[in-house]
Copies of this chain bind each other. A is one copy, B any other.
Amino acid sequence: MVTLYDNHLSGNGYKVRLMLTLLGAPFEIVWIDTLKGESHTESFLAINPNGRIPALVDGTFVLPESNAILHYLADGSKFLPEGRETRARILQWMFFEQYSHEPNIAVLRHWFAHLNRPDEGDEVARKRTAGYDALGVMEQHLAAQPYFAGDRYSIADISLYAYTHVAGEGGFDLLSYPAIRDWIDRVAAQPGHITIDDDCGFPIPASR
Contact = CB atoms under 8 A, between A and B. Distances in A.
A96 B50 contact: yes
Interface residues of A, number: 33
Contacts of A103: 99, 103
A71 interface: yes
A33 interface: no
B50 A68 contact: no
A143 to B, nearest CB: 11
A75 interface: yes
B68 A88 contact: yes
A134 B71 CA distance: 22
Nearest to A66: B95
Interface stretch (A19-27, A57-65, A110-118, A194-202): A57-65
Contact of A84 (B69, B75, B92, B94): B75
A85 B140 CA distance: 35
Contacts of A7: none
Given A95-B65, A96-B65, A137-B49, A88 B102 contact: no
Given A68-B92, A94-B95, A123-B123, 11 more contacts: A50-B137, A63-B88, A64-B92, A69-B88, A71-B91, A72-B87, A72-B88, A75-B87, A95-B95, A98-B99, A99-B102
Interface of A: 49-50, 61, 63-69, 71-72, 75, 84-85, 87-89, 91-92, 94-96, 98-100, 102-103, 123, 134, 137, 140-141
